[in-house]
Structure 1
């Protein structure tokens, strides 16, 4: 038995791709230098896999996003980009002023660029860059080992938006381009092509049988054997027909999402339905979404599989349960940062390669010693699980996730209609930002100096105070209505809280790509979560001291912290989320005690944690929303609770969004063409709403006219039925990736657009916003300079 890979980190061990991209975008390096770095990062990753003993190596690698790469080689370029070519077009689609929409890739924290398929789309394939990568891969690891990775046509259509055509027709139009690619690959001597179809693991697969069968019947005739690759969950009801598709091999996920209420049921499906005798099975038994080392599960699964009689060892290979791109690159880069007792229980992408090779050898060995060698840390992991109080790998607490907590902890003391009247009162189209401001080199230097001991905590706080004061001063000068402190002290919205909470641990080199050049360093949940004291109060008090305007307290919600971490595998995600919620609840109370009247608890990862099977949604949403409500239920009626959701489709979980009971919901919107706000309006959503008016991932500064048109489009949806004081104006997301000059220019235009919209309301007949003589939280009136009234909105 041998090992195969279906994806690997595209980052480089030391984030070489991030720095190469940012240097190219700044104009300090050339296109040739960017491509040279990218090619070296790819070759090094491929050679690393070969050196580890992997037999079949998936040729992963991208400049920005693999879905965008597919859009490019297929030649399904939206009309607005067709005047461009090469890298200028590629990056215009990913980060330009009219860039493609961005969304989460299934149930992961990876963001992909959403393809657009118009009714008349006609692919114009450009295969040069794809074929070049394959040729480089063959040169690096050998023709027999180099396996091209292709996103399959049905998944590609499922990931797209805006296509008015039936899925079958959209797939049919793509197939000639796919066939051309396969024929070219066959001519290059490629022995097999990985066709990645993760949509097969979703509930949507139940309605796609005809599309898959028609597509793969045609693709199988194009001259090269196909390897169908699925991951993120089992195939469920699609299993019986999906494994019968005309392919040479099938990769199946035997594990599913870490900590999921229901683990992947692949082994049970194989026991029930068998496995075709004419195919190889590539078993995803090494966890590709968790940094925890295998505890013997992988070998046990393989031995159970072999004992079932459904497959023989000569037709079985080992791989990861999902592409390894979701893991940090190499645990060895941590050095002595991690305590040995923890480091011995971990495995990053490089270490998972060794796991796969060892597991493949151990599964068919009768030697106990050989089996133990597949995971040298089995005893340590088992001891850690026992110390944590359980041996159940996941899901045990989901059906009783409230764990005896009183029901009243999960609700605000008054309904929205009552409490909104005693909260902060603002003009029509109140302006704010989502939270973060530019993370300058100086800010990053201060954090590094604190970390290395070159600055004391008091010296660091004194210097950070200056950055907070600057951010507040900019917002005050621009006359935003509600301010933020700017988050200069935060490297990351999860890491900042993780290092202050008990039960979490951080790596130094555990970077994972979120999208493009945006990387995150997820924390590890290593024990029970504990609140150790105020985490954000000091920053709030500093910011509040520099302004008379309301300042938001800024927290990351429990579900996002959990979903953007590597959770424990011995405790259900539900239980871990409630632990986080109880800790954050104490921080909400601490902010209130400091005088904070608006607390923002961002939970943008709420939807991405949804199981891929709809029948499992209710369980997940039950505990996920309860965790948010447990966190915020402590807030007094006069405290306004804000939350932010972004880069996912929420229209199919609107009841859950409503049940969160936030006073203000801010959403990513600029790339989504009002889809979410229209859905909210149609559903009769009645709380405050803040749709993003411009894209923070683009350096383009939006004009006043553009932003004003966005505000007008919100009104046209009918949302909130004329309560324009409850339609907020804000950017799509935080501004940490932007520079100060473009940030100031964009916010100046945003404030001007909101003011112009208010003037239009007044000219249209004095539309009332219900704010006459309303008091501010500070006890004054709501005028921009202390004057009464509502700033021209009535």
Structure 2
């Protein structure tokens, strides 16, 4: 028997057409049903016996908010999909739920909000309907409902002032009623997903878990407790003895982690209950590398420990939503040497089945227990054409001179040599709207329909337009807009030696957004400038400073699929050395502001707090190695977003960036207050509005955010070092809303400046000199350039 968690947001479920009013609710739901049914049928046809009924219109945690009926008051006037998507994306006067990373993954979830008086008002319709549809497709015996467990749900929520056990207790009647309904549908079991057990804080949750599952066990349906993302450590002895019929454990953890997963050792030490089935998560759900025989080896050990074959359930170590859909979609794009060595989600299903087959054979003939699973790939270093792990520079952390990790002057000294600005200087995080025309140009280049010179000529027009818009709006520090970039990691992965990018390897990042993570296939090497040309193009159109835009080494690593034959630390140092050369190249080209984004720094933290020190040590070192090459007059900016950074403030300070920009609008200044309390003294750019919502913030709203920064106590007396910027990049927004929001942002900064000093100029809101948009598009005045809304400047400047 095999069991699998599988979810893929194939084709983005046509969300955007629905939001634009071009698709009916019935058509959206019909597409969603088909995507789910296709995934279920794929599993069934591959040979999966018990199929988890995963799938979501936007986010699984948001689905739980919806059926539990723990809806924040600001959404209570809405219903159905209107309310669901308002919680995800915001609506007029209704800010969206906060968004943050799930555990240590690159998947963003919507954060539940629980106040002191929260009381569930459950509505089981959507969930029960999904189960009914799953049973119709698969049969009742194979369709397994998936429910986020109550303890994990409470721990993922924010703002709940009541103790965890009390919050869980309030949810239990809704959970119990759901389980009773599912029992009435004759489901064979219900998967209760509790990944919070893999964190170091799980030991403090024992009372909550034991009380909750004692109550849930009375509902009359077998419960299957599912954990993943790491071993469950010290929680193991009591967690596996909760009143459930099955427990699934992750035997693999994070690929390349410094500390191996301890699940097998925990079973050796404590045994496993004889009255339960063990779900063995032995097929790697977080790595694109094919199984090398590890799965069968782990199960063989379990059989040797006396766990009967009939009580073993073979599954993936984590939900397969973190992997690309199907390797076969790559077609002839797969490089020679990688064939047979990679496995995407569809191939992982086959690995689960082949491992289960090997287990059955081993149980019938113990002499065969040490054989390989059918199709298993032997361990092999490196990849296509690369001498990966072959020697030179592998132990970078030990070989590099300590001087390479430090700027030549301390912040206090070098900041005086950098550009000065008025109070509340304005900028953006980097990307501007990705229009259909821009995407078409990239596709034409990829297909060979455009030559590289022609492509660059056309992209130059888009860069010119973006610079002109920013000039006309009055921003202080500009960006080139990143029209040439598909994704902030993929773009660099395609230009670095030792990294391979897929053609169809899309992975869900959040809601309707998918990315294509690169695969590290060899030693990472710098192959020449990657972001210098676009910086130079942009700077020719303005006298204001333009930022050089890079993605940091830790984010590239955490948002890629790493090698498994050398450590993540070694791979991070290879990336840092490559990017260090790019920082130097930008500086040589005249760039005085270099932004090196590390939004994935926090999400890479191990789930066990005792392992944080080691990770943060090498992660921050990688950032410093990358940026320390910059001279004192070059301002280094970094961007962190959509994670809780309060617990790593010393590491953020040690990064030694000159300017820190952060996501802030959904988190109510929590990070700003924490930084102020910690005495943070470098430049700070708190996001003033949410880029994931289509709502345009008013001038007064943004001004209130700026005032709140002053009230927080951050950087007292230095408003010139409090930057005003959006939460994140603007690539997912349209030009009209982008221009409207930035216009209001610049005006709010100017008015806030004027409020500080009645004698200050309240004009354009910029101390930097510069040319107007008319120099970008000589045939149009500035206001018309601002109104171009998604078009280039018409060809007159190309």
Give the TM interval when normalised to the shorter protein. Answer: over 0.9
Match 1:352 to one of 348, 351, 354: 348
Q: Is the 8 A contact 1:284 1:319 kept in 2?
A: yes
Structure 1 Cα separation of the partners of residues 408 and 7 of structure 2: 47
Structure 2 Cα separation of the partners of residues 276 and 186 of structure 1: 24
TM (normalized to structure 2)? 0.93
- Aligned with 2:109: secondary structure? strand
Match 2:89 to one of 80, 91, 95: 95
1:99 deviation in Å?
0.3
1:379 deviation in Å?
3.5
- Aligned with 2:676: secondary structure? helix
Q: Deviations for 1:65-117, whole angstroms, at most 9, x for unmatched residues? A: 00000000000000000000000000000001400000000000000000000
Match 1:237 to one of 234, 237, 241: 234
1:654 deviation in Å?
0.3
Q: Is the 8 A contact 1:365 1:371 kept in 2?
A: no
Q: 1:329 aligned to 2:325? A: yes
Q: Deviations for 1:568-594, whole angstroms, at most 9, x for unmatched residues? A: 000100000000000000000000000
1:390 deviation in Å?
5.8
1:362 deviation in Å?
1.1
The unaligned stretches of length 5 or more in structure 2 are 773-798
1:563 deviation in Å?
0.4
Structure 1 Cα separation of the partners of residues 376 and 238 of structure 2: 38
- Aligned with 1:758: secondary structure? helix
1:23-34 → structure 2 map (5 Å cutoff): 23-34=17-28
Q: 1:11 aligned to 2:9? A: yes
Task: Determine the structure 1 residue equivalent to 2:119.
Answer: 122
Task: Determine the structure 1 residue equivalent to 2:71.
Answer: 77
Structure 2 Cα separation of the partners of residues 245 and 391 of structure 1: 47
Structure 1 Cα separation of the partners of residues 694 and 335 of structure 2: 41
1:220-231 → structure 2 map (5 Å cutoff): 220-231=217-228
1:22 deviation in Å?
1.1
Q: Is the 8 A contact 2:249 2:281 kept in 1?
A: yes
Task: Determine the structure 1 residue equivalent to 2:794.
Answer: none
Q: Is the 8 A contact 1:73 1:127 kept in 2?
A: yes
Structure 1 Cα separation of the partners of residues 361 and 381 of structure 2: 22
Q: 1:208 aligned to 2:202? A: no
- Aligned with 2:572: secondary structure? helix
Q: 1:318 aligned to 2:314? A: yes
Q: 1:470 aligned to 2:465? A: yes
Task: Determine the structure 1 residue equivalent to 2:705.
Answer: 710
Q: Deviations for 1:768-789, whole angstroms, at most 9, x for unmatched residues? A: xxxxxxxx9xxxx745789xxx
Q: 1:164 aligned to 2:161? A: yes
Q: Is the 8 A contact 2:90 2:96 kept in 1?
A: yes
1:264 deviation in Å?
1.1
Match 1:110 to one of 107, 111, 128: 107
Match 1:182 to one of 173, 179, 182: 179
1:510-549 → structure 2 map (5 Å cutoff): 510-549=505-544
Match 1:692 to one of 687, 691, 698: 687
Q: Deviations for 1:215-271, whole angstroms, at most 9, x for unmatched residues? A: 000000011010000000001000000000000000000000111111210000000
Q: Is the 8 A contact 1:345 1:377 kept in 2?
A: no
Match 1:61 to one of 24, 30, 55: 55
Q: Is the 8 A contact 2:100 2:109 kept in 1?
A: yes
Structure 2 Cα separation of the partners of residues 671 and 70 of structure 1: 20
Task: Determine the structure 1 residue equivalent to 2:586.
Answer: 591
Structure 2 Cα separation of the partners of residues 671 and 164 of structure 1: 19
The unaligned stretches of length 5 or more in structure 1 are 768-775, 787-794
Match 2:666 to one of 668, 671, 674: 671
1:529 deviation in Å?
0.2
1:10 deviation in Å?
2.5
Structure 1 Cα separation of the partners of residues 603 and 483 of structure 2: 27
Task: Determine the structure 2 residue equivalent to 1:646.
Answer: 641
Task: Determine the structure 1 residue equivalent to 2:410.
Answer: 415
Structure 2 Cα separation of the partners of residues 384 and 424 of structure 1: 45
Change (3 A) 1:486 1:134: same
1:605-754 → structure 2 map (5 Å cutoff): 605-754=600-749
Q: Is the 8 A contact 1:287 1:294 kept in 2?
A: yes
Q: 1:433 aligned to 2:428? A: yes
Match 2:501 to one of 503, 506, 512: 506
1:391 deviation in Å?
11
Structure 2 Cα separation of the partners of residues 543 and 728 of structure 1: 21
Q: CA RMSD in A?
A: 1.9
- Aligned with 2:397: secondary structure? coil
Q: 1:272 aligned to 2:269? A: yes
- Aligned with 1:491: secondary structure? coil
- Aligned with 1:208: secondary structure? helix
Q: Is the 8 A contact 2:285 2:316 kept in 1?
A: yes
Structure 2 Cα separation of the partners of residues 269 and 643 of structure 1: 40
Structure 1 Cα separation of the partners of residues 387 and 201 of structure 2: 37
- Aligned with 2:280: secondary structure? strand
Structure 1 Cα separation of the partners of residues 768 and 77 of structure 2: 49
Change (3 A) 1:391 1:471: closer
Q: 1:43 aligned to 2:37? A: yes
Change (3 A) 1:383 1:728: closer
Change (3 A) 1:19 1:50: closer
Q: Is the 8 A contact 1:24 1:31 kept in 2?
A: yes
Q: Is the 8 A contact 2:699 2:744 kept in 1?
A: yes
Structure 1 Cα separation of the partners of residues 420 and 438 of structure 2: 34
1:387 deviation in Å?
7.7
Change (3 A) 1:129 1:631: same
- Aligned with 1:314: secondary structure? helix
Change (3 A) 1:168 1:383: closer
Structure 1 Cα separation of the partners of residues 606 and 210 of structure 2: 25
Structure 2 Cα separation of the partners of residues 147 and 706 of structure 1: 46
Structure 2 Cα separation of the partners of residues 722 and 689 of structure 1: 13
Change (3 A) 1:560 1:300: same
Change (3 A) 1:378 1:629: same
Q: Deviations for 1:374-411, whole angstroms, at most 9, x for unmatched residues? A: 2525247468599856699xxxx99x761210000011
Deviates more, 1:435-444 or 1:330-339: 330-339
Q: Is the 8 A contact 1:479 1:784 kept in 2?
A: no
- Aligned with 1:220: secondary structure? helix
Task: Determine the structure 2 residue equivalent to 1:579.
Answer: 574
1:126-141 → structure 2 map (5 Å cutoff): 126-141=123-138
